[in-house]
Structure 1
Amino acid sequence: MASTGGFLREGNTTLLIGTDKEHIEELLDIIKSKCKSREKTIAPMSPVASSLEGYYSFPMQVQVGGATVFIIDVEKYIKL
């Protein structure tokens, strides 16, 4: 699912993945290999810089990317 928002107001991708417990570690390895964090420079007077507390007149380095993973048990699912 495509989504927009967060700190940099950029596009995100949300994946809903269902798997058996025995495949969780393999799935996490795949996610780790594909979702790397990196640094990005935001320019002064950008929408992000102007929305931060205070005023910044110099470029800033921020960390972007990576992944947030929630692992939850599904009590029941129904396929219709």
Structure 2
Amino acid sequence: MRRGAKQKGVVTFGLSANRQNPFAGAAHDAIFNTFRRTKSQIFYWLPPMLAGYYLLNWATERNHYLNSKAGRAEFADEEE
């Protein structure tokens, strides 16, 4: 590393690593970063999640109907 001539009037300060607060603003950043990342990705995971939910809900209701008295009476001849 090559250093140039010392500049006059330039003051730099340093802070020891054990004197810094590593969690300063962590909660605030976590909330808004999570919102930003979710907002940019929501159309990739929300439609399949909704489709899966409705498909599972339909299958559960269909299963309950087929195992009910009315469902067994309607589809009794198709089981054989």
Q: Same fold (TM over 0.5)?
A: no
Structure having the higher helix fraction is: 2
Structure having the higher strand fraction is: 1
User: Larger Cα Rg: Structure 1 or Structure 2?
Assistant: 2
TM-score, structure 1 as length reference: 0.27
TM-score, structure 2 as length reference: 0.27
Q: Which has the higher contact order (CA 8 A, sep 6+)?
A: 1
